[in-house]
Amino acid sequence: MLGCTCFGGMWAAMDRLQRELVERRGLLSVEDQRSLMLAAAMIPAPKFLAFAAMVGYRIGGILGAIGSSIAILLPGTILVLAACVLTVVASENPALVTIQHYVGLGVVGLLAGNAVRMFVGDGVNRRSVLFGLVISLGIPLYVIAFKGPLIVAACVGLAVGSIVIRGDEKRGAIDVE
Amino acid sequence: MSSDSSILVEILAVIAFSTLFSLGGGNGQLAIIQDHWVDPGLLSPALFAWAYAIGNFVPGPKCSFVAGIGYFLAGFPGAIACLVGISIPTVFGASLAAHWHDNLKHYVALFMPASGFVIAGMMLTAGTGLARNISIEPLEYLLVGLVVLGVWLRRWDPGVVVLGSAGLGVLVYLSS
């Protein structure tokens, strides 16, 4: 049901999740919910999906995690697929082509804006900014100018960054969608 | 193995791997998809952006947009491969995190400070690649710049940006 009624990502749905999981069904305490939400933001996976899997694991082990992941993904996926099927059917429509172009512009802006937000963060000292700048600009430079593989650039950046950037110097990617 | 099953295995593997770059909700995943399918011409940049945009309007996790990517690449089996691909590392990682939450915190903390910079670089790569692929007119860079400032300084919601961009597209179409 939460997969049908929660919009805007995990943090935006926090109140809705609390009403359903804590107050109505008593599956979690408020502290558990917040702790799991924070943990979901710290593991390498989409936050909302990871949160659902963690709640499922708490309730029913690995099968619970699988079941809750499917349940939270299914409604949105059906709608995405319906929209994509309609898009393919109307792919020659000039209005749709124009709209898609402008949506593409918006997505470019979103990616660049989120990149800047993620880079700036807060609580960043000068040394971290310098290393972070090299990593953040080095990845697109390596991929675009030198035609290098993105995966290699990202993995090297993460490995080097984890050595040279430490502690609470950088807040990380917690709240960027 | 037939070419059909090869593409499904490839979709599953790429999406599963790209999920690892969703650390903290960052969209490093987009950069992997862009790099693997959009830049080589296997997926049109318009459809890539479209699938991502739709994902911002549906209920539940926004990552359900990957189903659209899979559908555009290989039909409904491709969509299912994407869902399996995104679910495997998530369920595995989330179960581990739920089970050994306190022990894992230390290891995750090692990568957390650098992850923001790496994902920023990956998103910059994806944005630049998409911009090159969709042929932006000089005047349209003003719109992109406005969105960048709005997202950075005013924390514009992705749904608002997508809706505004689509609305502008409708206006441009009607006035042409």
Cβ atoms A157, B118 nearer than 8 A: yes
| Number of domains comprising chain A | 2
* Residue pairs spanning A and B at CB distance below 8 A: 409
Clarify whether residues A126 and A76 are in a common domain: no
* End position of a domain, from candidates A61, A89, A117: A89
Residue A80 lies in a domain: yes
- Which residues numbered 69-98 in A keep a CB inside 8 Å of some CB on B? 69-70, 72-77, 79-81, 83-85, 87-88, 94-95, 97-98
Q: Is the CB of A112 less than 8 angstroms away from the CB of B166?
A: no
List the single residue in A66, A72, A102 with the smallest CB-CB distance to B168. Answer: A102
Whether residue A79 sits in one domain with residue A8: yes
Q: Tell whether A9 and A41 lie within a shared domain.
A: yes
Cβ B19–A117 below 8 Å, yes or no? no
What's the confidence (pLDDT) of residue B10?
A: 93
| B144 chain-A contacts, CB cut-off 8 A | 105, 108-109, 112
In this structure, the answer to whether residues A25 and A70 fall within a common structural domain is: yes
Long-range contact list for B80-85, CB < 8 A, 24+ apart? B81/B8, B81/B9, B81/B11, B81/B12, B81/B15, B82/B11, B82/B12, B82/B15, B83/A73, B83/A77, B84/B12, B85/B11, B85/B12, B85/B13, B85/B14, B85/B15, B85/B16, B85/B19
- The whole-angstrom separation of Cα B150 and Cα A145 is 28
Final residue of a structural domain among A51, A73, A89: A89
Give the domain-ending residue among A89, A106, A129: A89
Chain A nearest C-alpha distance from B8 (Å)? 17
Q: What is the pLDDT of residue A44?
A: 79
Please identify among residues 17-56 of chain A the ones whose CB lies closer than 8 Å to any CB of chain B. Answer: 35-36, 39-54
Write down the pLDDT at residue B74.
Answer: 92
A12 occurs within a structural domain: yes
Query: Does residue A61 belong to any structural domain of this protein?
Result: yes
| Any domain includes A23 | yes
Query: So what's the pLDDT on residue B1?
Result: 43
Same domain, A10 and A80: yes
| B162 chain-A contacts, CB cut-off 8 A | 103, 106-107, 110
- Distance from C-alpha of A28 to C-alpha of A19, rounded to nearest angstrom: 11
Which residue from A39, A40, A30, A32 is spatially nearest to A9, judged by alpha carbons?
A40
Distance CA B14, CA B33 (A): 8
- Is A175 contained in some domain? no
CB A136 within 8 A of CB B84: no
Tens of pLDDT, residues A95-112:
888 988 998 899 899 889
Q: Does A61 lie in the same domain as A9?
A: yes
In a domain, A137, yes or no: yes
A71 and A28 fall within a common domain: yes
Do the chains contact at B124 and A112, CB–CB below 8 Å? yes
Angle among Cα B97, B98, B101 to the nearest 5 degrees reads: 60
| Residue A42: inside a domain | yes
Same domain for A6 and A71, yes or no, is: yes
Closest-CA distance of chain B to residue A31, Å: 14
- The series of mean pLDDT values per 10 residues for chain A, 177 residues long, is 60 68 78 73 80 86 88 89 87 85 89 83 68 90 84 84 68 45
Write out chain B's pLDDT in tens, 176 residues: 445 788 999 999 999 988 888 765 556 788 888 889 998 889 998 899 889 888 877 878 888 899 999 999 999 999 999 999 999 998 888 888 877 766 666 676 677 778 778 878 888 888 888 888 788 888 899 999 999 999 889 888 887 888 899 999 999 999 98
Q: Which long-range contacts (CB under 8 A, 24 or more apart) does B10-14 make?
A: B11/B70, B11/B73, B11/B74, B11/B78, B11/B81, B11/B82, B11/B85, B12/B81, B12/B82, B12/B84, B12/B85, B13/B85, B14/B85
* A100 plus A145 within the same structural domain: yes
Residues A18 and A85 in one domain: yes
- Within-domain flag for A177: no
Please check whether residue A156 touches B, CB under 8 A. no
Domain of A130, in residue numbers = 94-169
Q: Within this chain, do residues A18 and A81 fall inside the same structural domain, yes or no?
A: yes
Q: What's the confidence (pLDDT) of residue A169?
A: 45
Looking at the structure, tell me whether residues A73 and A98 fall in a common domain.
no
Q: Which residue in B has a C-alpha nearest to residue A42's C-alpha?
A: B24
| Residue B99 identity | H
Q: Does residue A78 contact residue B91 with C-beta atoms inside 8 Å?
A: no
